[in-house]
Each structure stands twice: as C-alpha cells, then as structure tokens.
Amino acid sequence: MANKKKKPKRLRRKLLDKYRLVILNENTFEERLSFKLTRLNVFVMGSLMAVFFISLTYLIIAFTPLREYIPGYSSTALKKKATELTYKTDSLQQVLLMNDRYYKSIKKVLTGDVSAVDFNKDSIIEAVKIEANEVDLAPTAEDSLLRQKVDKEDKYNLFESATSATNFVLFPPVNGEISEPYNAKEKHYAVDIVVAKNTPIKATADGIVIFAEWTASTGYVIIVEHSYGLISIYKHCASLTKEQGDLVKSGEVIATAGNTGELTTGPHLHFELWNDGYPINPTNFIDFK
C-alpha cells in the first residue's frame, strides 16, 4: 500500500518539478535568457503547438490554392474546364445523334426504303364525325358580341382611322419669329423661335410626358409622346410645369421659355418634331406667326 501511494506522488513530483532552461554565450558564458519550466508545461505547450500547426495546415489545404501543389489534389480551373468540356461533349453527342437520324431518314427516302402504313379511311372519317358531334359549337353570348365588334372594325376601320387622322391638328407651342429654320443637311432638325423670357410653352397635341429633366447642353428639356408615332421636343426652357408620366392636352402649358443650357444663344424655344423615329419639319404643319 505504501508503494502505491508513493508512485502517484513521484509522478506528480516529476511533472511539477521546476527546471531552468538557460541560454549562455559560449565564449563568455554570459547568461542571455533563462526560462522556468516544468515537464507539465512543456507537454501542454507542445500539445498546443501541435494543434496550432495541424489547424494551420488544414486551413491552407482547404481554403488556399496551395493545395494544388500537393500530390493528389487537382486544380480548380482544371475541374471547371473539365465540367465545361463534359457539357459540350454531351451537346455534341446529341447533335450527332440527331444528324445521324436525319441522314438515315433521307437515305431511306432516296433508296425507296419507306414502309407504307395502311389506314382505314372510312374509320378515320367516322371518328372525326363522332368527335365533331360531341362538341357543342353553339356560340355563347360573349362570342356573339365579339364577332359583331370584329365585323364592325373590319367594315368601318378604314373610315374611322381616316376620320381620326384628319382631325389630328397640331397646336403652335409659341408664337414668334423663327431665328433658325429646319435644315436637315446641317443636322438642325428643329426650328428656333425667338420669344421673350418666361413665355408660356404649350403642348402641340394631346399626349404623355416621357422626359422632363435638366441637361447641361440644352437646359430644361421636356419631351411629349403623341398619337400616330409623333414626338415633340422642347429645349432651353426656363422651367418645367409638368413631370414625367403626366398627361397633357393640346394647348396646355407645359413649360416656360428661357435661355438655359450651354448651346443657347438667347431666349428662344428649340422645337423638334419626330415621326416614327424620323425628324420632320415643324413648319410644314404649324404656323408659328
């Protein structure tokens, strides 16, 4: 019993006995560093360092490209390329299979190796008649109303559209002298009308505002989309009274004339008309005087 009690005490003493680790200068035997250590401390520190290095190695292998240099690990770029090639190969196989079937069918037609299938014409006609008899072809009330509406549109569409187009009149946005006329050769797709500052600018026709913002070169600009693919543009305005998305009526004030923007030469209105993406001369449709 005495020996059993002595063994744990000896083991504990060995683990907790203190030692000094001294680093000396070999030539002068001068003490440089010294550490107080126990066997238990050395064991604990060694275990922690081992865990640290194992964890660091795992992180490097798992989350950095350095793992590609370890034998047995493939490159990420190589895996990606292999996957892409696999998809392309599968697609090519499908295309080749379809082409092979197509060529085989053409070959059969050219060689006359086409198998004929006998159909019973009377049975097919009888089956169609039975299916038609089972379907209720009587028109509903909604269908009758739709048919009448379509018939009316087909019959009177030409005259109705001609009448509405004839009634489409453009209102002059401002009245004044034209300082610079429309000139397609010089790419001046507008007319410049000289007016006093803050003169009300009116919409040339009914429409919706699709743009109303400030630009550095032409100042305040407002663009209105009208019917029949027509768009009117008003530039160098002093202020805008409408915003994008607003509905406007013909002759309604949408802005005031001004002298804003870098390209202006004085108080005036730069007015453009576009139809289906092509510029047109506004003086052909509007009298500005």
pLDDT (tens digit per residue) in 53-94? 999 888 877 777 766 666 666 666 777 888 888 888 888 888
Which of 122 and 225 is assigned the larger pLDDT? 225
Structural domain of residue 48, as residue ranges?
2-55
Considering 55, 82, 98, which residue would you say is the last residue of a domain?
A: 55
Q: 187 lies in a domain?
A: yes
Distance between CA atoms of residues 151 and 114, nearest Å: 48
Question: What pLDDT score was predicted for residue 13?
Answer: 75
Range with the lowest mean pLDDT among 5-19, 77-91, 110-124, 153-167? 153-167
Distance between CA atoms of residues 286 and 178, nearest Å: 12
SS (H, E, C) 105-151: HHHHHHHCCCCCCCCCHHHHHHHHHHHHHHCCCCCCHHHHHHHHHHH
Question: What pLDDT score was predicted for residue 72?
Answer: 62
Given a cut of 80, whether residue 45 has pLDDT beyond it is yes
If you average pLDDT over residues 187-208, what whole number do you get? 92
Question: What pLDDT score was predicted for residue 161?
Answer: 46
Q: 136 lies in a domain?
A: no
Q: 164 lies in a domain?
A: no
Given a cut of 70, whether residue 136 has pLDDT beyond it is no
Helix axes 39-63, 2-16, angle to 10 degrees: 60
Q: 99 lies in a domain?
A: no
Q: 29 lies in a domain?
A: yes
Number of structural domains in the chain:
2
Task: Tell which phi-psi region holds residue 146, choosing left (phi > 0), alpha (psi between -120 and 50) or beta.
Answer: alpha
